[in-house]
């Protein structure tokens, strides 16, 4: 139990101490190309992270906990130096994450985040369907649809939509998993009242993999996602 509590504390420490100072994002000084490059990186940083194996939770199952994503951004680039000069190279995104199992191998989930010392916040949701629920001898395979909505940055309306397919197979208390997906980013600066900036849309392919360790009613899950930026996520949760 002490190790689990220490791990939960570590998530908050990672998120709250990664900043050199307050790091609000301001898009008013960006050129159009810079706005697009910034939107692409922010979009993948806040896009939904599964942080779970493919196998379903079951009709009585649930999983609720806290997680932290560390996204590697090009903070020394012109667009980041213009929009947020104090942004660290690893953008920390702490989240509350809840998932509920439903019948027929379906899980639904949601995330909420407010990034410390920044004007970034987000809401996200997912629906996952385990095409193969997995057995002692066979893996689970699932498809997932996701959505996230960025909030808090003046004048910016950014959202992401995603689909992915994943596979997992439990071995004792450990369940490794891997998957591939596509993320669509839409970024609209029209609310900022800035001339010269236009809407930006991108499609990014991502690869992800992780492992979940189950300790009685507690779960520790770590995941790495590789796309135009690389992100690392740890989730500490409880459920059954």
- In the structure, what pLDDT confidence band is assigned to residue 7 with cuts at 50, 70 and 90? very low
The average pLDDT across 31-58 equals 95
Secondary structure class of 120 (helix, strand, coil): coil
Fold classification of 2-239 is Lipocalin (2.40.128)
Cβ 84 vs Cβ 10: under 8 Å = no
pLDDT of 2: 46
**Residue 29: predicted pLDDT:** 85
How many CA atoms are closer than 13 Å to the CA of 138, on its beta-carbon side?
Answer: 8
Residue 150: exposure state from Cβ atoms within 10 A (0-12, 13-18, ≥19): buried
Residue range 151-186, pLDDT digits in tens: 998 889 999 999 999 999 999 999 999 999 999 999
Percent of the chain surpassing pLDDT 90: 75
- Which pTM does this prediction carry? 0.89
What is the reported pLDDT for 190? 79
- Asked if residues 9 and 106 have their Cβ atoms less than 8 Å apart, the reply is no
What is the C-alpha to C-alpha distance for residues 173 and 215, in angstroms, rounded to an integer?
Answer: 7
Give per-residue pLDDT as tens, 215-233. Answer: 989 999 999 999 999 999 9
End-to-end, the C-alpha distance of the chain in Å comes to 17
pLDDT digits (tens, 9 = 90+) for 46-98: 999 999 999 999 999 999 999 999 999 999 999 999 999 988 899 999 999 99
**pLDDT confidence band for 6 (50 / 70 / 90):** very low
Check pLDDT > 70 for residue 212: yes
Which position has the token pair 């920390």? 92
pLDDT of 27 above 50 = yes
């Amino acid at each position: 139990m002490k190790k689990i509590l220490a791990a939960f504390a570590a998530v908050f420490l990672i998120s709250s101490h990664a900043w050199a100072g307050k790091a609000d994002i301001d898009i008013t000084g960006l050129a159009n190309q810079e706005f697009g490059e910034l939107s692409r990186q922010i979009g993948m940083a806040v896009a939904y992270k599964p942080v779970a194996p493919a196998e379903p939770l079951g009709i009585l199952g649930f999983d609720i906990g806290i997680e932290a994503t560390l996204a590697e951004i090009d903070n020394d680039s012109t667009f980041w130096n213009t929009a947020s000069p104090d942004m660290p190279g690893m953008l920390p995104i702490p989240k509350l994450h809840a998932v509920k199992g439903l019948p027929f191998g379906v899980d639904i989930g949601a995330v909420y985040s407010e990034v410390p010392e920044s004007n970034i916040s987000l809401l996200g949701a997912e629906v996952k369907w385990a095409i193969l629920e997995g057995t002692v001898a066979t893996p689970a395979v699932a498809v997932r649809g996701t959505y996230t909505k960025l909030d808090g940055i003046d004048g910016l309306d950014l959202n992401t939509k995603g689909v992915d397919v994943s596979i997992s197979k439990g071995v004792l208390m450990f369940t490794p998993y891997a998957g591939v997906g596509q993320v669509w980013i839409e970024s609209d600066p029209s609310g900022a009242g800035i001339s010269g900036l236009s809407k930006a849309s991108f499609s990014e392919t991502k690869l992800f993999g992780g492992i979940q360790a189950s300790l009685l009613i507690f779960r520790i899950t770590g995941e790495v996602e590789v796309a135009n930026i690389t992100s690392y996520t740890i989730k500490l949760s409880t459920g059954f």
